[in-house]
Amino acid sequence: MSANPLEQFVIKPIIPLEIGGYDISFTQSSLWMGIAVICATLLMTLTMRGKAVVPGRWQNVAEMMYEFIAGMVHENLGHEGRRYFPLVFTVFILVLMGNLLGMVPYSFTFTSHIVVTGTLALIVFGLATLVGFMRHGLHFLTLFVPAGVPLALAPLIAAIEVVSYLSRPISLAMRLFANMMAGHTMLKVFAGFSVTLGVVLGVLPLVVNIALVGLEIMIACIQAYVFSVLTCLYLKDAIELH
């Protein structure tokens, strides 16, 4: 029984590998990422195999997710945003699967590592910036100098805007990582209370833990949603320059 609630986040290699001095072992984090991808693929392909006009339960799950993201992309990015749908949907389903698979006992939550969320956030941020420069060229830089600012204040405002812009991937990554890590630590802490309080009193933390599991599942879905909605908003800024 591990007493340390943070021990669950330790990365353990399954197949140790080292190439050119870099440790690229296949870890349990990689394993669960693979499982997440497989689950997502199976969910979207197997359920849609029937292609029934009147969807069954499983087909309904897949269709609801598709429509949910399609609606979100359309609402934020308009008709033109359709080309970004694959990106947003991939981000959404990967984060969702990562969060939800993390709720399975004995599994590993790869979204509780800032390396993972940071990489995702940097991909989104980099892409949004690239889209901005490709669509508007150097004109995209006027984003940082708001209209109607006195000339004397412009350098200061521009510096603040640049920092604000650069802070986006950090806050995007940190939000998901912190939520996941805090939730899972809390679950472990209350489970630890149950163990130390014994059979009779230990029931109380157990009850709390049951409620927390429900809360965590909700947070898992909300955070996946927040991550994808922010992806949309960043792309929106890049597409329509004000």
Partner 1 sequence: MSQPPEDLGQKIKAAREKHGLETTPQDDRAKQSGSSSAAAMRVATDLVAALVVGTFLGYWLDEWLGTRPLFMIAMFFIGFAAGFLNIYRSQTGQTFRIGTGSIRKEPNNDKNDQTGN
* Residue 114 touches partner 1, criterion: CB under 8 A: no
Q: Least separation, in Å, of the C-beta of 113 and partner 1?
A: 16
DSSP assignment letter at 240:
S
> Is 200:13 a contact under the CB 8 Å cutoff?
no
* Residue 129 touches partner 1, criterion: CB under 8 A: no
DSSP assignment of 200-220 = HHTHHHHHHHHHHHHHHHHHH
Residue that has been written with the tokens 């149950």 in this structure: 194
* Residue 146 touches partner 1, criterion: CB under 8 A: yes
* Residue 230 touches partner 1, criterion: CB under 8 A: yes
Q: What backbone phi and psi angles, to 5 degrees, belong to 159?
A: -60, -45
Q: Is 18 strand, coil or helix? A: strand
> Among residues 31 and 233, whose Cβ is nearest to partner 1?
233
> Among residues 43 and 237, whose Cβ is nearest to partner 1?
237
Which among 12-20, 24-32, 101-109, 165-173 is the span making contact with partner 1, rule CB under 8 A?
165-173
Which among 20-28, 82-90, 109-117, 174-182 is the span making contact with partner 1, rule CB under 8 A?
174-182
Q: Least separation, in Å, of the C-beta of 235 and partner 1?
A: 11
Alpha-carbon gap, residue 192 to 173, rounded angstroms:
28
Q: How many residues bind partner 1 (CB under 8 A)?
A: 33
Residue that has been written with the tokens 């609606």 in this structure: 71
Residue window 55-94: x/- pattern of binding to partner 1, with contact defined by CB under 8 A: ----------------------------------------
> Among residues 167 and 196, whose Cβ is nearest to partner 1?
167
Q: Least separation, in Å, of the C-beta of 185 and partner 1?
A: 14
> Is 47:61 a contact under the CB 8 Å cutoff?
yes
How far is residue 206 from each of residues 8, 80, 200, 213, measured CA to CA in Å? Answer: 19, 50, 11, 10
* Residue 149 touches partner 1, criterion: CB under 8 A: yes
Q: Least separation, in Å, of the C-beta of 191 and partner 1?
A: 21
Q: Where are the beta strands (DSSP E) in the chain?
A: 13-15, 18-19, 22-23, 26-27
User: Which position among 44, 127, 175, 206 is part of the footprint of partner 1 (CB under 8 A)?
Assistant: 175
User: Which position among 161, 193, 202, 217 is part of the footprint of partner 1 (CB under 8 A)?
Assistant: 161
Of residues 59, 86, 52, the one with CA closest to residue 70: 86
DSSP assignment letter at 49:
S
Question: CA quadruple 169, 170, 172, 173: dihedral positive or negative?
Answer: positive
Question: Site residues (CB under 8 A) for partner 1?
Answer: 143-149, 156-157, 159-161, 163-168, 170-171, 174-175, 178-179, 219, 222, 226, 229-230, 233-234, 237, 242
